[in-house]
Amino acid sequence: MRSPSRAVFLTGAACGALFAALLAAQIRGRPASNRGDPLPPMRAPRGAGLPAGDGEQCRYTFTWQGMPAATLQVRYAIAVQDGRPCMEISYEGQTSALIDWAWSYRLTGRTLIDPETLLPRRCEVTSVEGDRRKVTRTAFDRREGLAHVETWKPDRDRRKREAVPVRNEVDAAGAMLLLRTARNGGVVRVLSGDDTLELAARPGRRGPVRVPAGEFNAVQWSLAVRAAAPAREAQRYRGLRLWLSEDGRVPVRLEADVLIGRVTAELVGHQEGD
């Protein structure tokens, strides 16, 4: 059985980039709901523009059963890659001191997003679990239809390289950015390392939501995550509930039922971008 503290951050990290490798994929439980009509693939609306401004920052805290569990900070910036403009999403998170005594986890990531398609070009995620470090670098080649994934574990001096077929797959940071443009339900295919996950998103009720950063009028989205590969069809994941503010489409709250109890992530600070 996974420790509650591990479930806390691996669920929590899901919100920041949905927060970093759809780490929600670590939460196994009852089958994801298939209610309603099949959802179409989610794509950014034409001419939607970037949903986050240059210099925007979001800070989150996570609690498990009301206990402080982790923090996460996400930053958005306009950058240049190979002479082309892009949006850079960077994020860093860590477990709280209270959780660290049982299990410590640190996470940093950086994703470069094409401003027209909102699809990622490159991403890099570094995780440190206790004294074990792992670096995953992914380069998306849309023309070739491949994502070139390299995983490196410095403590074992072990590298793994793999080419994964992709079409409109995104990384976790790209999934969150895409959700910020969405108006209707849809399915996002998320590449997490060399695994592919499907994120089915459905909008629900609207209403005020109060979090430490203030009160927001928000739309509640129901999210269901599952493995996309047929061989792993039996592995399903618990659903998540995400609130996006109507003004600015900022993720303000996340709830997820985990193996033991519930994880809640809330926006504690927000700096608007240009």
225-254 pLDDT, tens digit per residue, is 877 655 444 344 456 899 999 987 899 999
Contact 191, 176 (CB under 8 A): no
- Domain that residue 17 falls in: 4-271
Mean predicted confidence (pLDDT) in 150-169 = 91
Give the count of domains, the chain: 1
The more confidently predicted of residues 46 and 244 is 244
CA 260 to chain CA mean position, Å: 21
- The residues that bridge with 258 in the sheet, in sequence order, are none
The more confidently predicted of residues 207 and 259 is 207
Whole-number pLDDT of residue 214: 96
Low-confidence winner among 110-114, 118-122, 254-258 (lowest mean pLDDT): 254-258
Mean predicted confidence (pLDDT) in 84-96 = 92
CA distance 256 to 72: 16
Q: Which of the four pLDDT bands, split at 50, 70 and 90, describes residue 184?
A: confident
Contact 99, 70 (CB under 8 A): yes
Q: What percent of the chain has pLDDT over 70?
A: 81
Q: How many CA atoms lie within 13 A of 216 on its CB side?
A: 23
**Mean pLDDT rounded to a whole number for the chain:** 81
Low-confidence winner among 23-32, 35-44, 49-58, 176-185 (lowest mean pLDDT): 23-32
Ranked by mean pLDDT, the top range of 22-31, 39-48, 121-130 is: 121-130
Minimal CA–CA distance to 65: which of 104, 29, 98?
98
